[in-house]
Chains A and B, each alone.
Chain A
Amino acid sequence: MDSDRLAPLELALEEEGLFCTRDDDADALRIAFKSEGDRYFIVSYRDDPNFVMVGSGWSLPEGADRERVARITNALNARKKFVKVALWEDENDVLFTIELCVGGAEEVRPHFGRLLDVLRDAATEFFAELRSA
């Protein structure tokens, strides 16, 4: 198994001018990075070399109406390209992920900026909708 198959995405991050750290273990390859102060991650599983996930997780504001949160989540899932939105950890967090089936991470590299934009936009829209009356 190629233990460095996320290397092209490390290069993509470098091209974007971002720092990153690796945190690989027996099960998964992981990259963590920040952009504009927000935290993101990339995950690939050793037993599924074609799977690559890019994501970010956010805490929900305390007291957020769960039904409303679920409605917003569903609406984003229906409308946004690429991104999957899910309530997570006892529904206290919201997770934005892009899950891809690729021959290699090199395929993702030229589109990495766009994927980051999609993640940012999804989170921005989610919280804007949550804040709106």
Chain B
Amino acid sequence: MFVGEELARFIQSEGHRVEMVADESGDRAELIFRARGYIFSVNVHDENPPHFDVATAYEIPPWARERAQNATALQDVANDVGGVRFALAANGKTFVVTLDCGSRPLQAFQSDFWSSVARVRDAGVSALERILDRSESRAAANKFITSLTRGE
């Protein structure tokens, strides 16, 4: 059985609905499921052993969508957290956080599946907080500078 199907059964047995999209060759699949309000995807490459990565996306509020600054914030968090990578997507409206879980037997991946999901979620939350914090700091600084310029 294709490893993606086995993993889908595992996620279902853990209580979660799963949608699986396999490519035509059948050696790659994306599994999509929800957990704690977030939508996650697991990419499975059916090698020997199979390769897995786990990802989710976060929306950046419109007022905080400054690509250069957000790219820096994401890189900072990636450096702090380790093991995850970030990418801005949809013209800077969202970012994707991905944990490369490497090539390993399915059972090994399943044994720490939820902790991998938690790592992705926590890294994403940290990144979003960093982006919002910087934006809010900048907004406050701008107000201050503006008021000084006006001589109030």
Contacts and interface: CB of A to CB of B under 8 A. Distances in A.
B37 interface: yes
Given A36-B15, A37-B14, A37-B15, A16 B37 contact: yes
Contacts of B34: 16-18
Nearest to A116: B36
A37 B110 CA distance: 11
Interface in A110-133: 113, 116-117
Interface residues of B, number: 14
Nearest to B12: A19
B114 interface: yes
A28 to B, nearest CB: 21
A35 interface: yes
5 contacts: A17-B34, A17-B35, A19-B15, A35-B35, A38-B15
List the 5 closest pairs (A to B, CB-CB), nearest first.
A34-B15, A17-B34, A37-B14, A36-B114, A17-B17
